[in-house]
Amino acid sequence: MNKKVLALGLTAGLMISPAISSTAFAAPDLAEKVKWSEKAGTPEFISGKLTAPSNYNAETIVYNYLNSKKKEFKFTGDARSSFVLKEKKNLTLATFQHS
């Protein structure tokens, strides 16, 4: 009997918790995030909403972003002369719409 009540209580709690959670249906966090390399002291991975929408090609957008972050990323000169594009990938992001 006690195990049955405990199981029902846990099930009910798991079903209700998303409904009472304040972040259950919150918008995803799109803030800029930089993962720093501890070894090199440089950015290792950058994600989030980094720029406003643009009609420029992807390569130009990346170099413009890097040029805007010279102080934080500790480089001088133009990003095109400081960085080498090693790989280019086309990614499709899935979007969902609540009906």
- Going residue by residue through the chain, which has 99 residues, state the pLDDT in tens, using 9 for 90 and above: 444 434 444 444 445 445 444 455 556 667 889 999 999 888 888 888 888 888 999 899 999 999 999 998 888 999 999 888 888 887 776 666 665
**Helix, strand, coil: what percent of the chain each, to 5?**
40, 10, 55
Length of the chain: 99
pTM for the whole structure: 0.59
Integer Cα distance of 61 and 50 in angstroms:
10
DSSP three-state, residue 47: strand
Integer Cα distance of 45 and 47 in angstroms:
7
Q: Where are the domains of the chain?
A: 27-86
Task: Provide the β-strand partners of residue 21.
Answer: none
